[in-house]
Structures are given as structure tokens and as C-alpha cells.
Structure 1
Amino acid sequence: MPRHLMEHPEDVAIVRLPAGEEPGFDWTAGPFASLTRTPDETSVVCLAAAVPAGARSEGPFKVVEVAGPLAFGAVGVFAEILQPLVDAGISVLGFSTFDTDWVLVPVADGPAATQAWRRAGMYVTPTSLTGGSR
């Protein structure tokens, strides 16, 4: 069965904070938000509009959700989704949650990513600002 990808309309960015620093801004809104800590950094994915002035950040990115939930032991889902983008020379950020996978594509590469996925036989549909397509 072809994979279904859902494109969210809100743009996100990734913010780099010093190790152990708590975000001093509202980072929790939007279709996808993430706080990741390592011994060397704290990274926050949040709505692009929420990035504080002067913060070290990259983006904006288009948020693409793999329709799920996916079986936790599913093998090869990310490889299937990323291969068409590798072939098209598109760099992405990938995340997994308990239920599904998420791909952040640079906004400028969004149309090319959508075309690459469709050429690979995947369904790509937009979601709305007021809900989703599930």
C-alpha cells in the first residue's frame, strides 16, 4: 500500500540553545514541536514565528507527517520516505515519535520534495490550519 504523507501549513524552525538551557519562549504550539537535549546542546523545534530575535536558528521548514500510527517495530519506513529526497538532492531533518515519523523539509525545497514523493508513488496531501487530514 502506498505511503501517505501529510503536509502541514505551519512553518517551523530549529533553535540551538546552550547545553542545559531551558527555552525562554513559547515553543509548544504548532503541528510539531520538540525539545532535545544532549550533553553539548539543547535543540528546540518550534513554529518559525516563535523564534526569538537574535536566536541561533535554521529554517523555515515545511512539516510533513507520515500517516500513522505506525507499528513500533516497522522496518524501513524512514528509508522509504527519505530515498526519493536523497535522489533529488534535498536535505531534511527527520524525527520519530512513538506513533509516527516526521520530516522537516526546507520551505524552498517543499515543492520538489512533494514531486519526488509523488513520483515514488506516495500520496501527499495538505492538512488544514484547523485540524488535520486523519
Structure 2
Amino acid sequence: MIALARPSDLGLTALSGDYGVARLADGAGVPGWLAGEGVFALVGDGSLTAVCRSDRIPAGVEQEGPWAAFRVTAAGALDAPGVVRAVTAPVAEAGLGIFVLSTFERDVVLVKTATREAACAAWADAGFKLQEADE
């Protein structure tokens, strides 16, 4: 049997600032406002989705937010089984939405800022170690 990641083996570090998830037109290219402090990502699949601190997203760009971001801390390989499931399950079971980004180094999860406290309570109840912003 494969050993899956357990909440007690994982941590979540809150990142400072509010985040936005913006929709850009397909083929728009990398916007100059995307890169900067905090986590940022650009993903394309028919349209482009940009994720970054919400204060960098220009007025007039379609976006959702604000979101609170958390960096998942885990020892292990990039493809360690069960990390995303372990992080998302408590939030889903609490009836909350979650947005997941994966990088080469670690996963980042975002919850709506309005549900941040409820998500943190769900993670703490599941056994996650929570830390405040390190940026």
C-alpha cells in the first residue's frame, strides 16, 4: 500500500496580502503587472488565468477575489502522493471552496479571504501546523 501524506506531516504558511485570480484573453501574453512580490502564476488553457497579489491587477481586468494564500510545507518528492488531497479535503468537508496552484518546489492553496478563518479552523482540526506570513 502507498503511504499518503498526512496532515500531521504537512504545514501551511499564510502568505501576506490579498490575491486575485484574473482571466485574460487567449494569446494575451505575459502581462507586465503579473510578476512581483508574493506568489504569481500564469496558466493557459483556452484562456489565460493569472494569479498574483490583487493590488497589481489593473482595473478593468476580469477577476475574482480577494483570496488568502497559503504555502504548503512538506518534505518529500515533487510527486509525493496525497499532498493536495490532504490539504483540500478538510476545506471541502467544511463546505468551502479552494483554488490550488502547484510549483516545482511546493503547492500553494488559496481560499476566499472571507472564509480564511473557517479554512484555518478546518486545517487545524485536521492536524495541520499553521504559521502566519513569512514575507
| Backbone CA RMSD of aligned residues | 1.4
CA distance in 2 between counterparts of 1:21 and 1:85 reads 33
Correspondent of 1:29 among 36, 39, 62: 36
CA distance in 1 between counterparts of 2:61 and 2:89 reads 32
CA distance in 1 between counterparts of 2:67 and 2:27 reads 25
Q: CA deviation at 1:46?
A: 1.3
Correspondent of 1:3 among 10, 23, 28: 10
CA distance in 2 between counterparts of 1:70 and 1:5 reads 15
Instruction: Report matched runs for 1:121-132 at 5 Å.
Output: 121-128=127-134, 131=135
Q: Does 1:15 align with 2:22?
A: yes
CA distance in 1 between counterparts of 2:29 and 2:76 reads 31
After superposition, the C-alpha distances for 1:88-123 in whole angstroms (9 at most, x for unaligned) are 011011011111111011000000000000000111
Contact 1:69 1:100 in 2 (8 A): no
SS in 2 for 1:9: coil
TM-score (norm 1): 0.89
Q: CA deviation at 1:3?
A: 1.5
Q: Structure 1 unaligned runs (5+)?
A: none
TM-score (norm 2): 0.88
In the alignment of these two chains, the number of paired residues is 128
CA distance in 1 between counterparts of 2:132 and 2:76 reads 19
Contact 1:95 1:102 in 2 (8 A): yes
Contact 1:6 1:65 in 2 (8 A): yes
Map of 1:62 onto structure 2 = 68
CA distance in 2 between counterparts of 1:70 and 1:28 reads 27
Q: CA deviation at 1:51?
A: 1.1
Correspondent of 1:105 among 105, 111, 119: 111
CA distance in 2 between counterparts of 1:107 and 1:52 reads 20
SS in 2 for 1:102: strand
CA distance in 1 between counterparts of 2:26 and 2:76 reads 32
Identity of aligned residues (%): 28
State the one-letter code of the partner of 1:104: L
Going from structure 1 to structure 2, the CA distance change for 1:33 and 1:69 (only over 3 Å counts) comes to farther
Going from structure 1 to structure 2, the CA distance change for 1:67 and 1:18 (only over 3 Å counts) comes to same
